[in-house]
Amino acid sequence: MSDSEQLYETLRSNADKVRSKIADACKSAGRDPGEVTLVGVSKVFPAEYAEAAFKGGLKDLGENRVQELVPKIETLDSLGLHPNWHLIGTLQRNKVKYIIGKTYLIHSVNTLELANEISKRSEASGVVTDILLQGNISGEESKHGFTPGEIERAAQEVFDLNGVRLRGIMTMAPIETEPGQARPVFEATRKIYEKIKANAREASSFNILSMGMSGDYTEAILEGSTCVRVGTAIFGNRNAYKA
């Protein structure tokens, strides 16, 4: 078996294991596994990893940084491969112009200024960009995003922007030192999401609750997550590829 074939088989097997755990969590929660989108986070890894994962059935791929996302989009486009690309990391306003029209979903809109910049650039390009508002529900100083008190007001303002479509909210829980520690953050985020959805003019399109990563995605699903962002459990340890 060639190296590329081995990589394909490894990533496909890893993704299948994650899907199995997603299905188990959905069963426990009385949910349909089809309600949960698995985003494979290929950040740091070379483009051939994203290529192999997509060929192995992973249709949604996520990147943290614009400077990694754009070259990978170009590489896979050149191969005739077109995943749904998610930007999940912090987005600086001066980088917005490079990704307009290229993302399936931007998860990390953490200020109104950023939402307005995306809207302005999208309108100028004749597109509407799907976004999520990032909530800092845990209150950690190291995390970006709107506080619980800010995010509902921010959502109402973003709903009025023409160049973006607000699809939901995203959060990150603290890294667990004991099983179950993340769940209260996910529960609080779901309640905020449901409150915003109840007041949304187009509630049917406000339908994405992005929470849960490799260490806590099953708990996130138990609390209603519709989108989990999984890197290490699929692609492996990133340390070998870090600059």
Give residue-wise pLDDT tens across range 135-168. Answer: 998 877 777 899 999 999 999 999 999 999 999 9
Pairwise CA distance, residues 217 & 228, whole Å: 6
- CA angle 50/238/243 to nearest 5° reads 100
Q: Which residues span the domain enclosing 221?
A: 3-241
Is pLDDT above 70 for 176? no
Confidence of residue 190 (pLDDT cuts 50, 70, 90): very high
Is pLDDT above 60 for 243? no
Is pLDDT above 90 for 13? yes
From residue 9, how far is each of 1, 14, 49, 99 by CA, in Å? 10, 8, 11, 31
Is pLDDT above 80 for 178? no
Residues 38 and 19 sit within 8 Å (Cβ to Cβ) = yes
- CA 214, distance to chain mean position in Å, is 12
Give residue-wise pLDDT tens across range 51-102. Answer: 999 999 999 999 999 999 999 999 999 999 999 999 999 999 999 999 999 9
Give the pLDDT confidence score for residue 153 in this predicted structure.
95
Q: Which string of b and e fits 86-123 if b means at least 16 CB within 10 Å?
A: bbbbebeeebbeebbebbbbbbbbbbbebbbbbbbbbb
Give the pLDDT confidence score for residue 240 in this predicted structure.
67
- CA angle 113/117/123 to nearest 5° reads 145
Average pLDDT over residues 21-27: 98
Phi, psi at residue 197, to the nearest 5°? -60, -40
Residues 106 and 118 sit within 8 Å (Cβ to Cβ) = yes
| CATH number of residue 84's parent domain | 3.20.20.10
Give the pLDDT confidence score for residue 174 in this predicted structure.
82
Give the pLDDT confidence score for residue 162 in this predicted structure.
95
**Residue 201 or residue 17, greater confidence:** 17
Give the pLDDT confidence score for residue 4 in this predicted structure.
86
**Number of domains present in the structure of the chain:** 1
Sign of CA dihedral 100, 92, 213, 224: negative
